[in-house]
Amino acid sequence: MIPLSFKTAMSTDLEKLISIRIAVMRESLENVGRFDPERARERFANKFTADKTTLVLQGDEIIGFYVLLARENYLWLDHLYIDPATQGGGVGSCVMNKIIKISRSKKLPLKLCALKESKANNFYIKHGFELTHSEEWDNFYSRPYL
C-alpha cells in the first residue's frame, strides 16, 4: 500500500469530495429507498467547510476525507469516507487510528452517527464504538478516548 498522507481541504476539492461521498453512500441509501444524488450533493455542499475537512491522500490522489469537529466535551466525527475503489486494504482503519489518536491526545471521546443500513456500522463497532441509541434512519455511537 502506498503510504497515506493528510492535508486540509481547499474549496476547489469540493466536487471530488462530493463524488467520493456519493459513491460510498449510494448502496446504503438505495437500500432504504433514499438515494437522491442531487439532494446528497446539495446537503454536503451547503455544509462544506474546507478548513474543517481533512483529505486522505495516496500519493497525489484524494482517496477519502474526514471531518472531525470539536464540541464542548467530545469530538464529533461528522464525515469519514474512503473511495470504494480503495476500500478493503486497511485505509479506513489507518484513518480511524489517526482519529482515535487525536481523541486520546485531546482526552475527549468520539461520537458519530451512521445510516442504519450502512456497512460502516460494523466498521465503527470493530474500532471500539458502542451504540448509544438509534433514531429513524441513523445509529449513534460513542467511543471513549482511552
pLDDT digits 0-9 by tens, 92-129: 999 999 999 999 999 999 999 998 878 899 999 999 99
d(CA 49, CA 69): 11
pTM of the predicted model as reported, rounded to 2 decimal places: 0.91
Residues 63-98 pLDDT 10s: 999 999 999 999 999 999 999 999 888 999 999 999
Q: What's 1-53 look like in SS3?
A: CCCEEEEECCHHHHHHHHHHHHHHHHHHHHHCCCCCHHHHHHHHHHHCCHHHE
Would you state the pLDDT for residue 87? 87
d(CA 110, CA 97): 12
Q: Quick one: which H or E segment has residue 92? A: helix 91-106
Q: Is 44 exposed, middle or buried, given 0-12, 13-18 or 19+ CB atoms closer than 10 A?
A: middle
User: Residue holding cell 474543517?
Assistant: 52
